Amino acid sequence: MRPFQPSVREIPGLSDIRPIGSGGMAEVYWARQARPKRPVAVKVLNEAACQGPGCDYAERFERECRTALSLQHPNLVAAYKTGQIHGRPYLIMEYVDGLSADQKVHLDGPLPVDEALAVFSQIADALRYMHEQGYVHRDIKPSNILLTSDGRAKLSDFGLAKTHHDPTITLAGGVLGTPHYLAPEQIDGRGQVDRRADIYSLGLTLYFLLVGEPPFKGNSIPVVLTRQLTDRVKFPAHWTGETQKRLARLIERMAAKDPAARYQDLAETQADLDWVRGEKPSPLQTAVFRARANNKVRRGRALKKSFPALQLPEDRRRILHLKAGRVLFYEDDVADAVYWLIDGRVEVLRGGRRLAVIAEPRKVLGEMAIIKGTLRSATLRAITACEVLRIGADELTIFLTKNPDLMQAILTDISERIELTSSRLLRAENVCQSVRQNLLLVAERLEQGVVSAADAVWLLRGLALEDPDATQA
């Protein structure tokens, strides 16, 4: 949380109000409650988040209040009361005097196994209770786990929680949650977000407690989101002991990309936790959770069929055989080669979103970054087992000279991209013109006193989000 200039000085029934910190939509204060006598934390929706009708933040805050008040568990931060001060809703909660798990690890390093499992077990208990009450938390992460001085762990922040039957609250144009701990189905929107998403996030949180960093990292949010979709969890090389091997198996299954391959509920997870601790002889014998590609690449024949007159370099290692799920290159990688698809299907991902599926033999891949001298603008991943031809950037000119038909394919591809970009630019120009006219109209109405400043802000937000595709043109 960030320090801030307090905007709340008094709340009925509370005294000695002091600022703790602020987040994206709320300010948090410490206070002393008169009846009953106890220290409390008060979360107050900030003024900017309250502006404009239909505000996403206000809806999320109201939902958080309802959820928190309906849940009672020793490992959940307790909620006591809600109210409003100067039109701003607030929530009075239990004050937890301690660090978050995130702060603890950053200060002291990875937790010892016993301590990490104690925290994990308590949060799993709380989360299992939430699931039994019909809620999905959807934002499990180390910074939402508070640790008391006497060793208790408490789960906080129910701003993204929803019931199994409620529609998902989302911010326009984005995914909600923390990129390093989001389940794949929360990123790509292709599956239902249920309790298995919480199990995925809890698995990555356990990894963080034990290792000291999240399993999927990147130099930008889009790269992290893409790695959540494409990469398997990799464990430290020194994890060679029996307990560490069992922990790796537990986390790997919790963090399976396919929800059907994960533990289906926390009762299953906790049963295997007993196995990790050595309290049970064997893990659950359920569905295999490690996906394996069973479709073999038709080597040689596919290459001849797709490139009958191809003049290949002598080094046959340039022919790459990819298993399903293998990543060829990542967004923001340095571009060092161009690829041609020989056989199979690949997908293009950007920021965790699928942009295209390519299944056309001879299709050139990754050439634009080489031509423009830029970093990769997207991630390329095999959907099925694939065979691709790799030509390094330093030998591309010689290779194309020997294979003019492939040079023609590149030129055709660039021509198609230019045509698509022109179409998008035209559409963007039309949208910009429309937004400009609406901005002038809002300014005129504001000057005439027809709309208030708060309404103008709300209208401007609506205009900014009017056409998400236009920003990608």
Which residues are marked as active site? 139
Phi, psi angles (nearest 5°) of residue 295: -100, 120
Residue 384's contacts (CB-CB under 8 Å, 6 or more residues apart) are 293, 295, 324, 344, 345
In sequence order, what are the beta bridge partners of 327?
A: 381
Distance CA 180, CA 55 (A): 26
DSSP notation for 101-165: HHHHHHHH-SPPHHHHHHHHHHHHHHHHHHHHTTEE-----GGGEEEETTS-EEE---TT-EETT
Distance CA 326, CA 383 (A): 8
Over its C-alpha atoms, the chain yields an Rg (Å, rounded) of: 27
Phi, psi angles (nearest 5°) of residue 20: -105, -50
Distance CA 136, CA 195 (A): 6
Q: Would the CA dihedral through 306, 394, 382, 416 be positive or negative? A: negative
Where does residue 10 fall: left (phi above 0), alpha (psi -120 to 50 degrees), or beta otherwise? beta
Q: Would the CA dihedral through 418, 419, 422, 423 be positive or negative? A: negative
Type of residue found at 206 = L
Q: Would the CA dihedral through 10, 14, 20, 23 be positive or negative? A: negative
- At 241, list the tokens: 């002991």
The string over 2-28, giving b where at least 16 C-beta atoms fall within 10 Å of a residue's C-beta and e elsewhere, is eeeeeebeebeebeebebbebeebbbb
Distance CA 198, CA 448 (A): 50
Q: What is the dihedral of CA 102, 108, 112, 118, to 10 degrees?
A: -40
Distance CA 296, CA 171 (A): 42
* DSSP letter assigned to residue 241: S
